[in-house]
Amino acid sequence: MTGDGERELDAADQGVESLIPPLPDLPAAEAAAAAPVPGHGPATDTVTIQAQSRRNWGRVIGGFAASLVVLTGVGFAVATINERFHLSPQAAALSDVQDAADGASATVKVVGGGIATAHWSDDAGLLVLVTQRMPEIGVGETRAVWAMRDGDPVEAGTFDTDVSGSATLVVDDWASADEIIVTVERADDMAGRPLGDTIARIPTE
């Protein structure tokens, strides 16, 4: 390149540089302060995200399990109340005796066949007599229950069985007695004391 050409290029370069303002000189301390600082935000790597997801899922499962326990308890309580509400008077009385702290029972064989079970509680003031597979008795006859106290009989009620020989009698003014006896009496001639045959004796001491 000729000297004239070099001078033309130098002149052109000087003309471009003259259009860019010079940068101011900054002290080193200010330059360091102005430098961009790397960020320190929360890590978002895959391991951290998975760990957070597991913790969140654990909280969901724990909350669901706790709710299930509460609902189960409430459901059980409602079912128990509902079942109790629909019990027959005989079944409710038997449940009261069995739940009583002093609840007791005794079972004996009945003369002629079948069994008789007495359930009683002095605290509840109840006695429930339950019979099974007792034979039929004659027309015009009934079975009578007596509470024996110091050798004196106190009538506790009468009952008839169904075709299977089953019956339930509730004595709701029960007080301590030596034994319960069951007799077969004439239905139209209850004399206030046992006159017929004794078919069962159940100790209740």
Residue 169 · residue 128 · CB < 8 Å: yes
> What phi and psi values does residue 137 have, to the nearest 5 degrees?
-115, 175
- 191 pLDDT band (50/70/90 cuts)? confident
Burial class of residue 187 in the structure, from the number of CB atoms within 10 Å of its CB (0-12 exposed, 13-18 middle, 19+ buried) = middle
- How many C-beta neighbours within 10 Å does residue 168 have? 17
pLDDT digits (tens, 9 = 90+) for 106-158: 999 999 999 999 999 999 999 999 999 999 999 999 999 999 999 999 999 99
pTM, two decimal places: 0.60
pLDDT digits (tens, 9 = 90+) for 13-53: 444 444 455 555 555 555 455 544 454 445 455 655 565 66
- 179 pLDDT band (50/70/90 cuts)? very high
Assign 199 to helix, strand or coil. strand
- The pLDDT score that the predictor gives to residue 72 is 57
- The pLDDT score that the predictor gives to residue 73 is 56
* Alpha helices for the chain (secondary structure H): 3-17, 28-34, 46-85, 89-99
pLDDT digits (tens, 9 = 90+) for 51-108: 566 666 667 566 656 665 555 555 544 444 455 556 899 999 999 999 999 999 999 9
In whole angstroms, what is the distance from residue 117 CA to residue 128 CA? 8
In whole angstroms, what is the distance from residue 51 CA to residue 56 CA? 9
